[in-house]
Structure 1
Amino acid sequence: MRYLKQLFGFSLLLFLLVNCTKNSETFADQVQNGIEDEIDDDIQPKDFKILSLGDSYTIGQSVCETCRFPEQLKDSLIPKFNSEDRFEVQVIATTGWTTTNLLSALAAQPPSNDYSLVTLLIGVNNQFQGKPFELYETEFITLVNKAISYAQYEKSRVIVISIPDYGFTPFGQNNQPTITAQLNQYNQYAQNFCEANDITYVYITDITQQGLENPALVASDNLHPSELAYSKFVERILPFAIEILD
């Protein structure tokens, strides 16, 4: 009888040990599967669409296509994200465009409203062509609202970039004080509007104001920013772009 009790006790202990081991394995498997599911979610490729609206400063007059700031921004973003993520850039800009020209182009061929990030840099040709400043005040706001609509109707996905100062180029140096004063008015208006409406505003004008002392910042046409200047623009834009897309 004593032997049978010992045998029964040993069998019960063995049964409990086996069951505990199985349960532990099941729990461990569940945890591992959960981790793997989270990892799978994290590494799913994402499609990022960038839309850049503007004029010659956006199209990259007198520099190569990959040298303009929207392309340099894309190239700078790629290593900051998963290697499987995909980036696409669309540029709607033409040399000489005023706010009116850009609005007309957008009305003729409206972009989709699914962009991950939209940049807007416009106004220099309003100043250069002597358009009334009141026109810029009205049309700039319209363009910002359109940019928001293209950015999934989220203003947090829009970046407004200040207007470069061409007064500090060989082309504009003889009229530099007037050019600078007028462009300051445009930039101040844009900055005030963005700050009042919680829209990201990136100031790059001071970079271009080094153009006479550092000719490498000016393109071969003696007027527009060079590839180097655009790379400096991107250094300032990049942190905001990462925050928006991350």
Structure 2
Amino acid sequence: MPAPAFLALGDSYTIGEGVPEAGRWPMQLVARLHAVQVDVQAPRIIATTGWTTDELSAAMDAAGLKPGYGLVTLLIGVNNQYRGRSQAEYREQFLALLERAISLAGDARRVVVVSIPDWGVTRFAEGRDRAAIAHEIDAFNAIAHDETHRAFARWVDVTGISRRAGDTEGMLVDDGLHPSAAQYALWTEAILPAAKAAIAEL
């Protein structure tokens, strides 16, 4: 049987803005899965810096995706928050994306939703209302968490990791906003158990 196919859906955090290809967390996740004898294909990544939920949906349309993925990850919403888009719109569009992810995986248990990190702790956010950013990120994550659990998909929280990493040495790339490969490695360790369990559902 061929190795399970892996689809990673998202934005800058999934494409790994500012890090080498091998430093992206979906690439690191495949390496970690291989290290624990879990076979999986290299990820197909549909993600671009700046995408909102509707932009990711349009890109999925253009990609002509077909069901058959053994693992699908979804991390989307920070740009909805950044652009001041509504929570009601986010819920509607996130749910549509989640339903598409489940359809592509064929089983909700093979879908892993990753929480939105908190960019308010980065030096990029200097001079902004960090508490307000954190509050809004928490609200968007509560929506995603609620819909993920309602659908019986898997949820992984990396927001706490992003807050602990903050702007500490080596945790961000040069733009002072996006995580470094070292921070993505911490995310990968958090995502690994859910990814293993998802693939085990095949």
Shorter-normalised TM range: over 0.9
Where does the alignment leave 5 or more consecutive residues of structure 1 unmatched?
1-44
Letter of the structure 2 residue corresponding to residue 51 of structure 1: L
Q: Cα offset for 1:86? A: 5.4
Matched, 1:66 2:66: no
Letter of the structure 2 residue corresponding to residue 174 of structure 1: G
Structure 1 segment 200-211 matched on structure 2, within 5 A: 200-211=154-165
Partner of 2:13: 57
Matched, 1:132 2:86: yes
Structure scoring higher RCO (CA < 8 A, sep ≥ 6) equals: 2
Question: CA contact under 8 A between 1:210 and 1:217: conserved in structure 2?
Answer: no
Distance change in 2, residues 1:239/1:203 (3 Å):
same
Matched, 1:163 2:116: yes
Distance change in 2, residues 1:100/1:86 (3 Å):
closer
Counterpart CA distance in 2 for 1:145 and 1:212 is: 32
Please give the TM-score of this superposition, normalised by the length of structure 1: 0.77
Residue range with higher mean Cα deviation, 229-238 or 208-217? 208-217
Select the structure of larger CA radius of gyration: 1
Matched, 1:89 2:57: no
Please give the TM-score of this superposition, normalised by the length of structure 2: 0.93
- Size of the aligned set, in residue pairs, is 199
Matched, 1:182 2:136: yes
Query: Could you list the runs of 4 or more consecutive aligned residues of structure 1 that deviate by over 6 angstroms after TM superposition?
Result: none
The structure with the largest helix share of the pair is 1
Per-residue CA distance 1:123-152 (angstroms, 9 max, x = gap): 00001111122211100000000001111x
Q: Cα offset for 1:197? A: 2.4
Partner of 1:227: 181
Two-structure CA RMSD over aligned residues (Å): 1.4
Question: CA contact under 8 A between 2:30 and 2:40: conserved in structure 1?
Answer: no
Q: Cα offset for 1:202? A: 0.3
Counterpart CA distance in 2 for 1:177 and 1:158 is: 31
Where does the alignment leave 5 or more consecutive residues of structure 2 unmatched?
none
Partner of 2:58: 104
SS at match of 2:49: coil
